[in-house]
Amino acid sequence: MADIIDEAMEAISLTETAEVEAIRRRLARPGRTTCENCGEDIPAERRELLPSVTTCVGCQEILELRERTGQTGHRLPETDAF
């Protein structure tokens, strides 16, 4: 029984280590300066506060509204961006 627990703990540790490394890599690379959905500039203050941000405020609000209403998809159709 102890072997199973040890193996599970090791798997958890490896997963956590991989997740931490992925976060470090993401934070180390420069963030986007334009929104991945509409192409508008992402304000510098927003990029400083959220280094991994990929969307402008307007597109992020639409994405969050979609999540709350059960709509799927992270990419906005071009008609929704304006």
Each residue's pLDDT tens digit, 53-67: 889 999 999 999 999
Task: Report pLDDT for 63.
Answer: 92
Q: For residues 57 and 46, is the Cβ–Cβ distance under 8 A?
A: yes
Q: How many residues does the chain have?
A: 82
Q: Beta partners for 34?
A: 41
> What letters, b where the CB count within 10 A reaches 16 and e where it falls short, cover 18-44?
eeeeeeeeeeeeeeeeebebbeeebee
Mean pLDDT value across the chain: 81
Q: Is the pLDDT of residue 6 over 80?
A: yes
Task: Report pLDDT for 74.
Answer: 56
pTM comes to 0.50
Q: Is the pLDDT of residue 22 over 80?
A: no
